[in-house]
Amino acid sequence: MTSHLRISTVAERTGLSEGVLRMWERRYGFPRPRRTGGNYRTYSEEEIELINQVVVHMKHGLAASEAIGTVLAAPSIASGVDVGETKARFWALVHTMDQEGIDALLNDAKQKLTPVRFCDDLLLPLLQEMTGKLDVAREHYASNLIRQQLRSVAQGAWAASTGPCVLLACPQGEEHEGGLLGIGVHLRYAGWRVLLLGANTPVDALAQACKTARPRILAMSFIQPRKKSEVISLIERIVKAVAPVRVVVGGPIARRFVDEVEETGAFYAQTAEELMALAV
């Protein structure tokens, strides 16, 4: 039976104050207590175990945000989700295009996994594995389903948006937004306000969005094969159009031309953590 423990008990058993627990919940979306009819927070034994793991990481020198990220990204036996079996069932349901079955499968996993694990352990691997596994019609169908789920998590209300604003977009000619959405989940978890423009965004649209939203960072992903001259020219146009917003690019194509990318005034980042470090 799942325990329903009050915040005072959790504070006593973890050595953290009630104020810290509430602050973590607002800032990082962790822990994730249930609410009673009287709006009191209640916690499970599994939640207390995760909090204690965070405390251990902090004693070894990690900041609270880093410790929480490490714990939530780690596989959890208590999650009740066999990721391998879930992936196998997903592919079987995609072959028959069983929309109701797919929705039920993914929603069940979403309920049982943390948002970061749902993204990193299930959604992104599914997106990466589908090439060559499906015919064109089913690949488009499955890819669209996964991107919808990633968007839902990245824009969900599971974490407080108290940090800087980041604008995520794929540049003109780029349709592969899955990895960028995965970055968005991690940024959202860290408390950033995430705005998604999506795939194939023209330079003028990027400039207008930056003027309106005034983000700390415009982050873009380059995956579609392009010539170096085309990549660098496009990044130069974007840097100039959105100034003074800091432009951060990632993806395998940008990685091939890191030196040239940074000469444009843009920055290169491979992970959400590297991107966040550029916000200072």
- Tens of pLDDT along the chain (280 residues)? 345 788 988 888 888 999 999 998 888 888 888 877 677 888 877 788 788 888 888 887 888 888 888 787 765 544 567 888 899 999 999 999 999 999 999 988 888 887 778 888 899 999 888 877 889 999 999 999 998 898 888 876 555 566 789 999 999 888 888 888 888 888 887 778 889 888 899 999 999 999 999 999 999 999 888 899 999 999 999 999 999 999 999 988 888 999 999 999 999 998 888 888 887 6
The CATH code belonging to domain 165-277 is: 3.40.50.280
The answer to whether residues 188 and 155 touch, using CB atoms and an 8 Å cutoff, is yes
CATH 1.10.1660.10 maps onto the chain at: 5-74
Residues 57, 60, 64, CA angle at the centre, nearest 5°? Answer: 45
Measure the CA–CA gap between 151 and 199, rounded to whole angstroms.
12
Tokens representing residue 273 in the block:
């953590």
Joined together, the tokens standing for residue 161 give 């948006």
DSSP 3-state assignment of 240?
Answer: helix
Q: Are 46 and 56 in contact (CB under 8 A)?
A: no
Element spanning 250, H or E:
strand 246-250
Query: Which of 1.10.3720.10, 1.10.730.10, 1.10.1660.10, 1.20.120.80 is the CATH number of 5-74?
Result: 1.10.1660.10
Residues 53, 59, 62, 66, Cα dihedral to 10°: 20
**Residue ranges of the chain assigned to CATH 3.40.50.280:** 165-277
Answering whether pTM is above 0.75, one says no
Instruction: Pinpoint the residues of the chain covered by CATH 1.10.1240.10.
Output: 79-154
Which CATH number applies to 79-154? 1.10.1240.10
Rounded to whole angstroms, the Cα distance separating 93 from 87 reads 10
